Structure 1
Amino acid sequence: MGRVKSLCFLAVVLAVLGQSFCSDEDPQCSRDVPVKSRIDCHPQPGASQEKCEARGCIWCSTNMPNAPWCFFPEDSPYGYSLNGNAEKTAKGWRLTLNKLQALSLFGNDISPVVIDVEFQTRDRLRFKIYDPNRQRFEVPLKVESPSVAADDTSYDIEVADDTSHFRIKRKSTGTVLWDASLSDLIFSNQYLQITTTVPSTSVYGFGEHEHLSFKHSMNFATYGMFSRDQSPTPFANLYGVHPFYMCVETDSNAHGVLLLNSNAQDVSLSPNPSLTFRTIGGVLDFYVFLGPTPENVIQQYTEAIGRPHMPAYWSLGFQLSRWGYGSIDVLKKTVDRMHYYDIPYDVQHSDIDYMERRLDFTYDKVNYAGLPEYMQQLKKEGMHYVLILDPFISKDEEPGTYRPYDLGEEMGVWVNNSDGVTPAVGKAWPDGHSVFPDYTNPRTVDWWTQMCLELKDVLDYDGIWIDMNEPSNFDRGQYPGCAVNDVNNPPYIPSISDRALAQKTLCPDSKTYLGEHYNTHSLFGWSQTAPTFHATQKATGKRAFVLSRSTFVGSGKHGGHWLGDNFSQWKDMHLSIIGILEFNLFGIPYIGADICGFNYNTTYELCLRWMQLGSFYPFSRNHNAEKNSEQDPAAFGAEFAKISRETLRIRYSLLPYLYTLFFESHVHGNTVARSLMHEFTSDQKTHEIDTAFLWGPAFMIAPVLQEGARSVDVYFPEAPWFDYYTGNKVPASWLKNYATVDAPLSKIPLFLRGGYILPKQAPATTTTKSRLNPFGLIIALDDQGEASGSLFWDDGDSIDSIEKEIYFLAKYTFSKGHLKTEIVKNGYRGADSLKYNTITILGLRLRPHAVALNGRTVRGDAFSYQTNGKLTLWLSAALTQELNIAIY
């Protein structure tokens, strides 16, 4: 359906999309099926009354923008009914369904179908709808399925015989989380559809898209999901596929739902409120996560799909890149000016221009002569280096001259044509013919690992950035074109760009180790990420850094992501926050956007404000495109460099807190960056906010997102908040309200939430240096004068320090004027030489008369109190010894 704002004004657009122009609504058909409850019976373009009624559906005009004019009747002739009673199984229940009528929307309907319901854990339910007589493609993601049903679940299942409704309820409240009529179910060979109501309009997730708001519009918005090489554009399907959503119910409980399906698909959000899922293959494999808090939902989700990987500490430092340095001289010049201005800076990336003619596993020995030695030099200075690799391999080189192709050909590692034998040949870099490794094939994993090891022998990289792995192809399908068949031209193509499965990629009937590309296309990046993760670990002997453009459910276990080829525009800066929040929901917390924008030339003010925001992305990197102007923070002169330096120094000082958040994400599945709604779910105003965000529960970032603005309207939920810079407590009148906060060009507004303790460390120009510096604590008190927090610390890059318990973990509590430290784990000897040197307490109500450190009174000149309730204590105490402070 068309995504239009005004039915009348955009009549021409609607006509192009297959709808008639303006017409008054027919009240009779709206009584039969209310407009907000309509389910589109002609979701592809070209709807007409004749086509609609030929399908046994209702054609009825409406003035509601985007609402379908062709929709299913209340009693759909396409669905299923329950055959007999539910059958109890060891894991739960089994329902057998029979088709109601012979009528078919797209042909080849399947009957019977089965719903297997598994009570997997107390808070996780699975139900899979499938063909019991024929194996269909299923995503090869391993989700642990216990052999017996869980006891004492937080959910109930209800199947109403009279209405054939399949419902999932929350036991504690009776809220219906999922309500799908089996009479609306469609299950044919190449078209599967199911509709459910949802208990509120606070719906988040689904990806990857450039969503215009974090909270979705439920006004008949449709989003396609099919991985694609596509610069971020509203409503377009982008690089990855994440059919997961979270819904905050009207009573502030939250739940999540995953459709584990990799075929081309779309989802429509309707004001009923309801969701309609459509996919063109596989099975309907749903997982429901009961929460009840948003954080619980993501913990349960990542427990199922895989916990996020633990990033290396250095990868939390600032990173710099661009496509098109062009030569090692320009690269060196850029690095030198960053160092000249003392801008914190840990990682340098090289895009494809470092390669010889853009050939993977090579480097340009003319323009980048001396690159291996320069990489070694930077590493000796405490920096790290990341190289890009593309997934396609040129087949146009002379035999015996290009080992990646020769070895791959020998090992048979390519995606093949529909015959399953001859390699699929597409068009990619360098300009010519390329083949595509099939990363679902174990032989390909061996080949890729070998090539990464050989590259490491030449270029001493620390991490690998994998790009173009949707997979991208600079044509529609491979040579000589896609055959005309039902696989390449299915009866329904979801709401994806160009409405063509082969556009900018391979033909759907291409063959991979796991089956047809029709089924595995959106798994390409996911299947490449894990082998790259393990190859990088093997090559470096350290914790892997893998950054992937294409992602799928579970990708966060082995890599991070950036939001792709964004634009140097103010709106893109705002939308980056939404993307970062969504990928934390998707279990990929190591996420960022290209600071200052990838496409177009940036401006001084935009780039400066973006540097301020980007300093607080979990993955912080400035990167832009070939031939665009330089935009590194040292390129704009001394004042720009100074402001960037000071903002990045705040990031670096809080890296111990950020690193601890990533530890909690890796171990427990927590989010790292989260929305205000995530923490203040009962506050309805937070449900709409996507212009500010949090690190964990305690640190709010409220960036300037408008050109020329020197203030920001910040919403403060009900909690004590403190200005990061001054320690001043936010006035009570600001709570549960928007307040205008000063934001001169040199400053990004930052706030600390009362009730939390944040570890910090003196910053430096690299994490290699800052990790040697003294620690501190920021203690922001709540209204009861209490706070808590923790610190995780290890060597920062060992592969298995957590599994082997070679780490330090402290928990801090402050109550009744006393700070107590519990050393939970003291297994990392590298922490023994580190010390605390400052403790800052915010929100003290009375001036202290004395301060004691581990039972001994400290000198009066060792602490300072300000009238705003801020106490600063200077000390020297071992990090690995219990720290106890009393304030009198």
Structure 2
Amino acid sequence: MAPTSFFKRALPLFSFQALTHGQQSINLANGLGASASPRPSPSVNTVTINGTPTTFRDIFTMPASVDVGADLLPYIDDPEAVDAQTVCPGYKASQVEESDHGLTAVLTLAGKPCNVYGNDVEVLNLKVEYQSANRLAINISPANIDASKSSWYIVPEELIPRPKGESSAGDTDLEFDWNDEPSFWFSVTRHSTGDVIFSSENTKLVFEDQFVEFVSHLPEDYNLYGLGERIHDFRLNRNLSATMYAADAGDPIDRNIYGHQPFYLETRYFETDEQGRKKLVKKSQLNEGAYGTGQHHQRSSYESYSHGVYLRNLHGQEPQLSSDRITWRTIGGSIDLFFYDGPTQPEVTKQYLKSLDALPAMQQYFSFGYHQCRWGYHNWTELREVVETFRAFDIPLETIWVDIDYMDQYRDFTLDPVTFPLSGVKEFFDYLHSNNQHFVPIVDSAIYIPNPQNASDAYDTYTRGNETGSFLNNPDGSQYIGAVWPGYTVFPDWLSANGQAWWVKELVDWYKEVPFSGIWIDMSEVSSFCVGSCGTGNITMNPVHPPFSLPGEEGNKIFDFPEGFNVTNATEAASASSASSSQASKIGATAVPPPSTTSYLKTTQTPGTRNVNHPPFVINNVQGDLAVHAVSPNATHANGVQEYDVHSIFGHQILNATYQGLLSVFPGKRPFIIGRSTTTGSGKWSGHWGGDNASKWYYMYFSISQALHFSLFGIPMFGVDTCGFNGNTDYELCARWMQLSAFFPFYRNHNVLSALSQEPYRWASVAASAKSAMQIRYSLLPYLYTLFYEAHTTGSTVMRALAWEFPNEPLLADVGTQFMLGANILVTPVLEPQVDTVKGVFPGIGDGQTWYDWYTGARVDAQAGVNTSISAPLGHIPVFLRGGSVTPLQEPGYTTTASRKNPWGLTVALDGEGKASGWLYVDDGESIEQEATLEVSFEARDGKLEVEVEGAYKDTNVLGNVTVLGVFGGVGDVELGGKKVDRKNVEYDEAMGVLKITGLNHLTKGGAWKCGFTLSWSA
């Protein structure tokens, strides 16, 4: 979890001791936490500090038991679990009415209710819509919805927009079919190929108030991507329970974590036979010539078709993948399915995002600079020292971030009066802003509730929210009080009438004190450190300590280091190993756990009612009980909706509220927000970081797959905690990671309190690696910015899988160790310790694709379908340019502001026919609505480059240089706009085919893009 800490300002004064108290029991029937015995009052003590008598009180530490829920056995692990497919009757269709735009029908239970994990809904409505040329919608919902009974919850349009039909619906390539034998089932077919992309044939539809199940068959060796959020390989495994329930969990592998993204992309590869028929390609057909075998793969007539599937449902879900099917289960809601026919990945993603009005936010230019953060920056002075040290080492730094250290006792919209006093704000920010640098603070999702018996504990943010009815309640109408970092807390109710307006005003007022540039939203799943309303009746004890020890506290030291540390850091490793062994001996051996005697809670359904705290179907939630480390499912919103029905949208809603707040803080400017919990459409407001990873090589490895999945989800502004959050990094891991993250859209280094500092200047090798990679990144800022403009206007991706850019190569389907940045840049990072080479494939070579080394400009010598060994000593990350591309560049400066004032450059990478193309988008870098823009297109052929310019935006930077790769056969006079370029400014390496043209400044006075021109070089 990004922030954790405890009252740093008072640390020397408070004693962190748990007072003796009765075991807390939680009454989940009404959501209230009740004490089995009265809480003792904290004792008051007086000590003398620096000659001054000081009164303080012991801090009550919540017992670990407050965050322990019921023992539940997930369905997938329960040997006695009932298979609904074998006991439920399914449905029969009647009253079928067809039209040009779809059909409607009534589905009636085909037999006796099974009530296996809830109460069967006897009558359903089916509605099928051909919504557009590329989209089909299938909705199955209860026929008689009684909102007063809340037996089921249908997602309102105002929370998550529902795609609407378009006039092009009659041209759709998707076909819906259904059958009633042995019970109702349906299929979706791609008309142009005859391929069935979804079919529930010979399976049952199960629809209960707390359990919905439907199944689709999948082809052998299918390629499925998405269904987030989790740490997982790029292509989803064929034995995976893809639980979706927003959870505050520190990046466990293959478990549900922060977000809820019920969308998947499936890609199928076909081969055309001699009769022109398309046959599905199986993995067994591709063994010969597979990457890594060293054998040449002869290309046949492969082509791919991709489609997308989205389930518009906010409830906890558990799609289960097996060898030949996907079984989709939810604990509520309706079946609201949308199919996107692509037929390519880029088209699927665009169709998906456009249908939801969820095109990614256009980011401010500064956001693409380098960001530095850590939990543990103690005061304004240290923060400034970090900024100054970056400059002393000449390592670019755009934005300094702070974790919860800056807050007054971890309360939102406050400053610690001792370590981050208001009096220090002007000096710090004057310095920062004078250097065109920025500041982003963390803001948590829970609000401290002050101690009513302590007048000095007053907290105006709470008071204003309370007065406007902006917080969640218990079912009985009392305030729901959980616990987070500051102690007992309340939680914003985004469904209340005033919740968003209250939040907006808090941001506006706080900016008057702290001139931030953006906001970092954390703990938004939403997280709570106790089960139920544990603060009810206990707020006179506030502030209280969380129910776990924090990094740096006694008995919670950090001795964890990356794999291979004992080799690359032998001396330090020996010391760390010794300390770790000593610590382990204190904890005691746990290698062989005692046999389990757990008696699991089994919930049975009650006719006509729901059990939201412990639903009968148990999803494999990472925290077990849905109320553990989260606001309880029966917490109640102002409109009567229970948290059970909208839990996973809290993070989405706080991002929306923050977006609206920043629009008020910075009228006319694009808000910059990075959030933790996301769902469908969150990318139109915010970026996302990968959460609480660890300083391990495998987390760096998985970061690529994380980023690619969030590309599918429409959140391209993605990055991870570079060098790792939890544990200690070392120089080798940090150097490699700083290089890799330089090619992620969001580039930030961040680590945990009390771990070793990991700013890149801490090691000479890391500083050198970071500077080298940043030099490339900052050169590419115009290209990256153009990619984001494309994403914002069309829904295209920024970081791309090789399989998406080269869709006719089946062997790329599971490559998650390399990636493309846009269409032009191929990145092949080192992802393991103690190596100086890395293997990578160069896609498209079988079709004539050419690749060039970024550093030398030399054409890559590689074979099709073969993993090539690439030199990659520490400090070097292999980067390649795609033949046929023109990449706009700008001379890198220390900040993005400085970079934007520097000369332009172009790299023209010719393909095998001597052609290349590309484009550039330019605007002011911050405004939502632009007064003027520039769009520059580049087209190279026949030994010349044609540049065309459209738009009125004034950019006065000159063109400094042009590099042309793949120029063989000689070079003649070089001319720009009909004027010869001095031969001393022309450097040509005929053997490598690299032409470098410099000294163009005087030929482009007034601005490189003032008007179009031609640059020629042919012999």
Regarding TM over 0.5, the answer is yes
Q: Using a 3 Å threshold, how does the CA distance of structure 1 residues 89 and 473 change in structure 2: closer, same or farther?
A: farther
Q: Using a 3 Å threshold, how does the CA distance of structure 1 residues 362 and 90 change in structure 2: closer, same or farther?
A: farther
- 1:540-595 CA-to-partner distances (Å, cap 9, x unmatched) read 23211011000001000000000000000000000111101100010000000000
> In structure 2, which of residues 430, 439, 443 is the aligned counterpart of residue 389 of structure 1?
443
Q: CA deviation at 1:350?
A: 1.1
What's 1:130 paired with? 141
Query: Is 1:586 aligned to 2:617, yes or no?
Result: no
Query: Is 1:245 aligned to 2:272, yes or no?
Result: no
> In structure 1, which of residues 588, 602, 609 is the aligned counterpart of residue 729 of structure 2?
602
What's 1:171 paired with? 191
Between the aligned partners of 1:377 and 1:859, the Cα distance in structure 2 is: 44
Q: Secondary structure at the match of 1:884?
A: strand
The residue identity in structure 2 corresponding to 1:436 is F
The answer to whether the 8 Å contact 1:322/1:350 transfers is yes
What's 1:494 paired with? 619
Between the aligned partners of 2:899 and 2:77, the Cα distance in structure 1 is: 61
The answer to whether the 8 Å contact 1:81/1:183 transfers is no
Which aligned pairs between 1:837-856 and structure 2 lie closer than 5 A?
Answer: 837-856=960-979
Q: Using a 3 Å threshold, how does the CA distance of structure 1 residues 873 and 143 change in structure 2: closer, same or farther?
A: farther
Q: Using a 3 Å threshold, how does the CA distance of structure 1 residues 43 and 324 change in structure 2: closer, same or farther?
A: closer
Q: CA deviation at 1:647?
A: 1.2
Between the aligned partners of 1:392 and 1:487, the Cα distance in structure 2 is: 22
Q: CA deviation at 1:92?
A: 2.2
What's 1:295 paired with? 346
The residue identity in structure 2 corresponding to 1:265 is Q
Between the aligned partners of 1:282 and 1:157, the Cα distance in structure 2 is: 23
Between the aligned partners of 1:857 and 1:480, the Cα distance in structure 2 is: 78
The answer to whether the 8 Å contact 1:241/1:553 transfers is yes
Between the aligned partners of 2:908 and 2:988, the Cα distance in structure 1 is: 14
The residue identity in structure 2 corresponding to 1:180 is S
Q: CA deviation at 1:755?
A: 1.1
Between the aligned partners of 1:617 and 1:701, the Cα distance in structure 2 is: 10
Between the aligned partners of 2:710 and 2:118, the Cα distance in structure 1 is: 36
Q: Secondary structure at the match of 1:265?
A: coil
What's 1:417 paired with? 474
Query: Is 1:236 aligned to 2:260, yes or no?
Result: no
Q: CA deviation at 1:184?
A: 1.2
The residue identity in structure 1 corresponding to 2:500 is V
The answer to whether the 8 Å contact 1:378/1:384 transfers is yes
Between the aligned partners of 1:476 and 1:871, the Cα distance in structure 2 is: 66
Query: Is 1:268 aligned to 2:320, yes or no?
Result: yes
Query: Is 1:373 aligned to 2:427, yes or no?
Result: yes
What's 1:142 paired with? 161
> In structure 1, which of residues 628, 632, 643 is the aligned counterpart of residue 755 of structure 2?
628
- 1:750-771 CA-to-partner distances (Å, cap 9, x unmatched) read 0111111110000011001110
> In structure 2, which of residues 926, 929, 940 is the aligned counterpart of residue 797 of structure 1?
926
Q: Secondary structure at the match of 1:302?
A: helix
Between the aligned partners of 2:267 and 2:620, the Cα distance in structure 1 is: 26
What's 1:886 paired with? 1016
> In structure 1, which of residues 99, 107, 115 is the aligned counterpart of residue 109 of structure 2?
99
The answer to whether the 8 Å contact 2:718/2:744 transfers is yes
Between the aligned partners of 1:562 and 1:222, the Cα distance in structure 2 is: 23
Q: CA deviation at 1:81?
A: 2.2
The structure with the largest alpha-carbon Rg is: 2
Query: Is 1:561 aligned to 2:688, yes or no?
Result: yes
Query: Is 1:548 aligned to 2:675, yes or no?
Result: yes
The answer to whether the 8 Å contact 1:317/1:652 transfers is yes
Taking CA–CA contacts closer than 8 Å with sequence separation of 6 or more, which of the two structures ends up with the larger relative contact order? 2
Q: CA deviation at 1:399?
A: 5.7
Unpaired runs of 5+ residues, structure 2, are 1-72, 271-303, 538-600, 604-609
Query: Is 1:782 aligned to 2:911, yes or no?
Result: yes
Q: Using a 3 Å threshold, how does the CA distance of structure 1 residues 588 and 721 change in structure 2: closer, same or farther?
A: same
Q: CA deviation at 1:185?
A: 0.8
- 1:251-287 CA-to-partner distances (Å, cap 9, x unmatched) read 2110111111111111111111x11110011111111
My pick for the range that moved more, 87-96 or 512-521, is: 87-96
Q: Secondary structure at the match of 1:511?
A: coil
My pick for the range that moved more, 293-302 or 135-144, is: 135-144
Q: Using a 3 Å threshold, how does the CA distance of structure 1 residues 103 and 47 change in structure 2: closer, same or farther?
A: farther
Q: Secondary structure at the match of 1:458?
A: coil
Q: CA deviation at 1:240?
A: 0.5
Between the aligned partners of 2:883 and 2:354, the Cα distance in structure 1 is: 30
What's 2:773 paired with? 647
> In structure 2, which of residues 92, 98, 112 is the aligned counterpart of residue 88 of structure 1?
98
Q: Secondary structure at the match of 1:523?
A: helix
The residue identity in structure 1 corresponding to 2:137 is R
What's 1:114 paired with? 125
Between the aligned partners of 1:209 and 1:728, the Cα distance in structure 2 is: 39
Q: CA deviation at 1:858?
A: 2.3
The answer to whether the 8 Å contact 2:106/2:124 transfers is yes
Q: CA deviation at 1:491?
A: 0.7
> In structure 2, which of residues 219, 226, 235 is the aligned counterpart of residue 205 of structure 1?
226
Count of matched residue pairs? 813
Between the aligned partners of 1:551 and 1:871, the Cα distance in structure 2 is: 47
The residue identity in structure 2 corresponding to 1:439 is W
Between the aligned partners of 1:72 and 1:145, the Cα distance in structure 2 is: 32
The residue identity in structure 2 corresponding to 1:238 is I
What's 1:770 paired with? 899
Between the aligned partners of 2:497 and 2:521, the Cα distance in structure 1 is: 19
- 1:666-694 CA-to-partner distances (Å, cap 9, x unmatched) read 00000000110111121111111111111
Q: CA deviation at 1:111?
A: 1.8
> In structure 2, which of residues 802, 821, 840 is the aligned counterpart of residue 714 of structure 1?
840
The answer to whether the 8 Å contact 1:399/1:406 transfers is no
Q: CA deviation at 1:103?
A: 4.0
Q: How high is the sequence identity, in percent, across the aligned residues?
A: 35
Q: CA deviation at 1:745?
A: 0.6
Between the aligned partners of 1:360 and 1:707, the Cα distance in structure 2 is: 40
What's 2:295 paired with? none
What's 1:286 paired with? 337
- 1:259-316 CA-to-partner distances (Å, cap 9, x unmatched) read 11111111111111x1111001111111111111111111111102210000000000
Between the aligned partners of 2:623 and 2:843, the Cα distance in structure 1 is: 43
The answer to whether the 8 Å contact 2:132/2:166 transfers is no
The residue identity in structure 2 corresponding to 1:792 is Y
Between the aligned partners of 1:887 and 1:78, the Cα distance in structure 2 is: 75
Q: Secondary structure at the match of 2:243?
A: strand
Unpaired runs of 5+ residues, structure 1, are 1-41, 58-70
Q: Using a 3 Å threshold, how does the CA distance of structure 1 residues 441 and 827 change in structure 2: closer, same or farther?
A: farther
Q: Secondary structure at the match of 1:737?
A: coil
What's 2:584 paired with? none
Q: Using a 3 Å threshold, how does the CA distance of structure 1 residues 517 and 90 change in structure 2: closer, same or farther?
A: farther
Between the aligned partners of 2:706 and 2:671, the Cα distance in structure 1 is: 23
Which aligned pairs between 1:528-539 and structure 2 lie closer than 5 A?
Answer: 528-539=654-665
What's 1:679 paired with? 805
Between the aligned partners of 1:632 and 1:863, the Cα distance in structure 2 is: 40
Q: CA deviation at 1:340?
A: 0.3
What's 1:191 paired with? 211
> In structure 2, which of residues 987, 997, 1000 is the aligned counterpart of residue 873 of structure 1?
997
The residue identity in structure 1 corresponding to 2:507 is C
My pick for the range that moved more, 455-464 or 441-450, is: 441-450
Q: Using a 3 Å threshold, how does the CA distance of structure 1 residues 448 and 91 change in structure 2: closer, same or farther?
A: farther
Between the aligned partners of 1:149 and 1:493, the Cα distance in structure 2 is: 42
Q: Secondary structure at the match of 2:350?
A: helix
Between the aligned partners of 1:760 and 1:665, the Cα distance in structure 2 is: 19
The answer to whether the 8 Å contact 1:166/1:182 transfers is no
Between the aligned partners of 2:674 and 2:763, the Cα distance in structure 1 is: 28
Q: CA deviation at 1:641?
A: 1.6
Q: Secondary structure at the match of 1:113?
A: strand
